[in-house]
Amino acid sequence: MLRPHAGFAAVVRNRVVEAGPTGWARRQERGTSLDVTDTSAPQPEDADVESDVNAGLNLTPRTDVTPSGRRNRRRIGPIIVLAVVVVAGVVVITQFLGKSLDYYCNVDEVSVKAGCSADRSLRVQGTVERGSLTRDDTETRFIIAFNGKTMPVVYDGDPGGKFQECIPVVVRGRLSGGTFLGNEVEVKHSNEYAAENKSRIDTAESSTCPQAA
């Protein structure tokens, strides 16, 4: 039987040793280059990217907004809406009252007495002068007098009812260019007006003229 040459056996042992678990170290010692870079370690490029991202985002917790501040903002909205509604309501009511509240004035008080200014709606009391009443298809014209003062009236339409000359009436309307433009004629005073203005009614009735035959 042939025995292996001693030199050959040594070569085989060297190959086995090199192929073992520590062979990679020996190969590296002999000049073999192995890439054993640890990919789990942070790389310089990754650090630069992360630094750029953090520079563009403000990750600092905000301290200027508190829960109470948010609650206050939520409360301001309904308060503003309520204030607008209240102001609008006041404006509407004021305009309505300004139009609906007409001052009662005698003919001689128009443009003289406080509240009887010519630039507002009025209720003017006076006696229809005899011979002043004229009518056409669209208008009724007459003159009312009180305490020696007279005022021409133009009424749109026909007052109808008991309206006639020589009776006290109350005409509602506005003064324009010296002529009272009436839109309502009251022949009989309301109970409220009669109770509050008895002396005026008595004066107006005492100045009635005899009706034309």
> How many CB atoms within 10 Å of residue 41?
7
The model's pTM = 0.49
At 122, which amino acid appears? L
> How many CB atoms within 10 Å of residue 200?
20
**How do 168-176 and 179-186 pair as beta strands?**
antiparallel
How many whole angstroms separate alpha carbon 75 and alpha carbon 68? Answer: 11
CATH class of domain segment(s) 103-206: mainly beta
176 phi/psi in degrees, rounded to 5: -140, 110
Per-residue pLDDT of the chain (213 residues; tens, 9 = 90+): 445 555 544 544 555 444 454 554 444 445 444 454 555 555 555 555 555 555 556 666 665 556 665 666 677 878 888 888 888 877 777 665 555 556 789 999 998 888 888 888 999 999 999 999 999 989 999 999 999 999 999 999 998 888 999 999 999 999 998 899 999 998 866 566 666 667 766 776 666 665 543
How many whole angstroms separate alpha carbon 25 and alpha carbon 31? Answer: 10
Q: Where are the domains of the chain?
A: 103-206
Q: Name every residue whose Cβ is closer than 8 Å to that of residue 180 and which is 6 or more positions away in sequence.
A: 110, 124, 144, 151, 152, 153, 154, 171, 173, 174
